[in-house]
Amino acid sequence: MMSQQVKEAIHSAWRAVGILETVRSLKHPVTARTKTQLDRQPTHSHPSSSCHAARRASAAYNLFCALPLSLSEDVTVIVPTTFKSETELTKCLQSVTACSPAAVLVVTAKANVSLIEHICSLKSFKRVRVLDVDKLNKRRQMIRALKEVETDIIVFADDDVLWPEQYLDYLLAIFEDPKTGAGGTRQRVSRNHSFLTSIWNFLGIAYLERRVWNNIATNAIDGSLSTLSGRTAAYKTEILKSEEFFHYFLNDHWRGRPLNTDDDKCLTRYVYSHGWSIAIQCDSRSVIETNMEDSPKYIAQCLRWARAHWRGNLTVMENERYWFTSMYWGLYVIYIGQFQTPAALVDGSIFALLYTSLSAYEESRIAACECLALWVFLVKVLKLLPHFFQHPQDMIYIPASIVFSYLHGIINIYALLTLTKTHWGSQDLDQLQHARATRTEVVPLLRRAMQETEAYHEPTFSKLRHSWFVSEPC
């Protein structure tokens, strides 16, 4: 396995060889040719000349430069899991192992280690190790696996994500820039297979569509990002595998209270504060699928995310400088824009100001307010247009989406007032701490997991074309 430094050194060496041979060749300039083209050259045409050697050196260098600096064999995937759903975890590991990483480390409670090992054995998952922790805590699970990593790249993945084929090839492309320390890709919520999805499923789809849109836009403009999503994210091992980071990560607090949640916020902050950049791979062939709560529990999930958003941004504003010294668009959109809530108050104030300012123009102000209402409507649905192009039947949920956007503003205010609540809003970790199945239930559980996943295949680009608005790669 070739380290990043070794690869860069070889690149430099080949470049030096190419320059040297070019200088030695005084008769003809060096032209870039592929190895195949060079092999087609007549062997009798200056076989020993420096020009011929220069061509071969140049071709070899070009071929080497075409190779990515990071390959799937340079990756260790870490999957911290509560083992809430054996089917979801099995599907996740099936899609992850299909991308051929060097190793997959699954971390769970001691009581469920043997059960997950049985699943991996029955499904013939290669290079998967199951590690244990005394108590479920996502941060400690991540650190437990980090200490075992021996590759150049770490990829954290939630236990309910599905990767498309060759996912790592696209994800690792972000590290071609040596300044990039971490990154992720686009995401989508798995849609219910019925013609009309449930309203909760649609709200989850709409939430993630907007979030991905915002992240890609801000990151493309000035490299800023509110949060690098923990659903799947890649990091250079040299950044995270250190006692400094372990202490930083495990001693993250909010007003004296230890944080078990907000792990992705903490990772994002650490990467930026150490001078690294974060990149988003927005190629349409690298879209992962994930699940969200498909019930009223979705409200609790949104509340947890809102609290994490406030805590993370306020911590950055209090302790860091990068958010206002180099990322000016992010300064406005992420850190100033967060105070433009709730939307009902902001939009209502705009309507009131417009209506009163046109009091002398009775005939015009109604038309002006109607135009403003149309503008607000378009703003609310603009980011959902790609989804509606693929699933026009979901347009019946547009009113519900707009109503929920205003409700989410109220959730944001409530979250701001309850930042000291740091628990997981939609999971009971104490309950999940126990064994997923008793001895007599193990065989039926394994059989069910196998049956539910035997017909499953990891998402492919052709499938995503039918379930996602495909644009040209960024």
| Banded model confidence at residue 273, pLDDT cuts 50, 70, 90 | very high
| Banded model confidence at residue 85, pLDDT cuts 50, 70, 90 | confident
Give the end of a domain, one of 43, 66, 89: 66
- Verify that 268 and 212 share a domain, yes or no: yes
H/E element, 169 = helix 167-171
For residues 455 and 451, what is the distance between their CA atoms, to the nearest angstrom? 8
Residues pairing with 290 in the sheet: 189
Which pLDDT value is given to residue 24?
A: 37
Identify each DSSP E strand in 75-231 by its residue range: 75-80, 103-109, 128-133, 153-157, 180-185, 187-189
- Verify that 170 and 51 share a domain, yes or no: no
**CATH number of 182's domain:** 3.90.550.10
Containing structural domain, residue 29: 4-66
pLDDT at 419 over 80: yes
- Verify that 82 and 35 share a domain, yes or no: no
Contact by Cβ (8 Å): 37, 119: no
- Verify that 204 and 319 share a domain, yes or no: yes
For residues 351 and 89, what is the distance between their CA atoms, to the nearest angstrom? 48
- Verify that 26 and 157 share a domain, yes or no: no
Highest mean pLDDT among 7-21, 26-40, 299-313: 299-313
- Verify that 303 and 337 share a domain, yes or no: yes
Average pLDDT in the 337-351 region? Answer: 91
- Verify that 378 and 361 share a domain, yes or no: yes
**What is the DSSP secondary structure assignment for residue 150, as one 8-state letter?**
-
Least confidently predicted of 265-269, 292-296, 405-409, 412-416: 292-296
- 385 vs 444, which has greater pLDDT? 385
Give the end of a domain, one of 38, 66, 94: 66
- Verify that 189 and 44 share a domain, yes or no: no
DSSP SS3 for 61: helix
Residue 105 sits at φ, ψ, to 5 deg, of -110, 115
Contact by Cβ (8 Å): 242, 134: no
| Banded model confidence at residue 360, pLDDT cuts 50, 70, 90 | confident
pLDDT at 469 over 80: no
For residues 59 and 53, what is the distance between their CA atoms, to the nearest angstrom? 10
| Banded model confidence at residue 28, pLDDT cuts 50, 70, 90 | very low
pTM score: 0.80
Give the end of a domain, one of 19, 37, 66: 66
Taking alpha carbons only, the member of 197, 227, 191 closest to residue 211 is 227
Taking alpha carbons only, the member of 59, 44, 45, 52 closest to residue 25 is 52
Which pLDDT value is given to residue 50?
A: 60
Could you read off the pLDDT of 206-253 as tens digits, one per residue?
A: 999 999 999 999 999 999 999 999 999 999 999 999 999 999 999 999
- Verify that 44 and 78 share a domain, yes or no: no
Into how many domains does the chain fold?
2
Which pLDDT value is given to residue 38?
A: 36
- Verify that 131 and 39 share a domain, yes or no: no
- Verify that 53 and 85 share a domain, yes or no: no
pLDDT at 395 over 50: yes
- Verify that 46 and 130 share a domain, yes or no: no
